[in-house]
Amino acid sequence: MAKTHYSRFDCQPGCSVEAAVSLISGKWKCVVLWYLLEEETLRFNELRRRIATITQRMLTNQLRELETDGLIHREVYAQVPPKVEYSLTARGRELTPILMALKAWGDAHIDLFGNNGTAGKPFTAASSAEV
Amino acid sequence: MAKTHYSRFDCQPGCSVEAAVSLISGKWKCVVLWYLLEEETLRFNELRRRIATITQRMLTNQLRELETDGLIHREVYAQVPPKVEYSLTARGRELTPILMALKAWGDAHIDLFGNNGTAGKPFTAASSAEV
DNA sequence: GCCGGTAGTATCAAAAAGGATACCATGATG
DNA sequence: CATCATGGTATCCTTTTTGATACTACCGGC
């Protein structure tokens, strides 16, 4: 599934922008990235419980794509029951300024969305310091 | 068409990020925004010629969505032949830091895309100064 | 009278993304 | 022996997005 985001690059101005956007534009990717920024390392079901409305298939899906794109790392422990830990790669952590800029803009223009809450929550990712 | 990006806001962490992403994640939106940042004002067919591989339908489409989202302004001149000018709104211009961050990341990790050119082109938007 | 350029619409089809549901192996627990 | 939790797959279906193509009205130029 997916993988289309690699395919077209006429390389007009804005091409690398588009490329970067395509990596985070999955329906749940931002949320996943955000959690991983905040909590460093999470197991599959920990993520699932945090997101709640996501289906198992979609979580697997988004995680696989993020992994393929080199944004997150997947560590499998050969145990039973299985244990799989997800964390950001260096490349993933470098998205922080983007996520921050997006959040800043989103919070500033939250009125656009007929929205209410959320804007409040301050960003406190443990790893934001190192970027 | 579209409009779905308003619909779901479970408002988990990252929600406003997701909201912002959804506004620029159309297939051609970044390119359009980029050109408008660079050239301030462009007519429909001027944009079309610059993008080249876009279809008329998609250009109309993306422009309408950007307009609905308050990112660009559409100025119609009551003449024949018709003349319509597109430009960024203040809100649209505030996306600059986001686009810059995306471009920076994209250029830095351009290897991810099996890509070649593009990275070079420096950002020279006339309006970037005022942000 | 026909052609080109203006800025679009309308219609149909294909592809991609997302959702719902069921299923799997394993080991510990009861 | 049945059940729970782990981290997934597989299958089917619907919605969303994108693409291809044809069409419109108007005017000026040839």
Mutation test of the interface with chain B: which of A102, A110, A116, choosing the one with the most B Cβ atoms within 10 A?
A102
| CA B97 – CA B125 distance, rounded (Å) | 12
> What is the per-residue pLDDT for B111?
73
Query: Which residues are CB-neighbours of A109 under 8 A, at least 6 positions away?
Result: B20, B70, B91, B94
Residue percentage of chain A with pLDDT more than 70: 75
The mean pLDDT value for B81-87 works out to 94
* pLDDT tens track for B85-126: 999 999 999 999 999 999 999 989 877 765 444 444 444 544
> pLDDT at position B47, please?
96
Residue of A43, A6, A40, A64 whose CA lies nearest to A124:
A40
- Smallest CA–CA distance from B122 into chain A, residue: A13
Tens of pLDDT, residue by residue over A8-17, are 444 666 788 8
pLDDT at residue B11, as a whole number: 60
Q: What is the pLDDT of residue A121?
A: 44
- Please give the structure tokens belonging to residue A10: 């006429």
Distance from A80 to chain B by nearest Cα, in Å?
31
Burial of A72 (0-12, 13-18, 19+ CB in 10 A): buried
Q: Average pLDDT for residues A68-85, to the nearest whole number?
A: 93
> Which candidate, B28, B96, B95, B100, places its Cα nearest to that of B64?
B28
Tell me what pLDDT residue A11 has.
61
CB contact under 8 A, A35 and B14: yes
Give chain C positions with protein CB within 7 A.
Answer: 4-11, 15-22, 25-27
Higher pLDDT, B94 or B11: B94
Task: Give residue-wise pLDDT tens across range A28-76.
Answer: 999 999 999 999 999 999 999 999 899 999 999 999 999 999 999 999 9
B76 burial (CB, 10 Å; 0-12 / 13-18 / 19+) is exposed
Confidence of residue A80 (pLDDT cuts 50, 70, 90): confident
The terminus-to-terminus CA distance of chain B in angstroms comes to 32
pLDDT tens by residue, B12-69: 667 888 899 999 999 999 999 999 999 999 999 999 999 989 999 999 999 999 999 9
- pLDDT: which is higher, A117 or A94: A94
Question: What is the Rg, in whole angstroms, of the alpha carbon atoms belonging to chain A?
Answer: 16
Contact present, A85 and A42 (Cβ < 8 Å) = yes
Q: Do the Cβ atoms of A113 and B9 come within 8 Å?
A: yes
Chain A, 39-78: which CBs lie within 7 Å of strand D?
43-46, 56-57, 60, 63-64, 74, 76
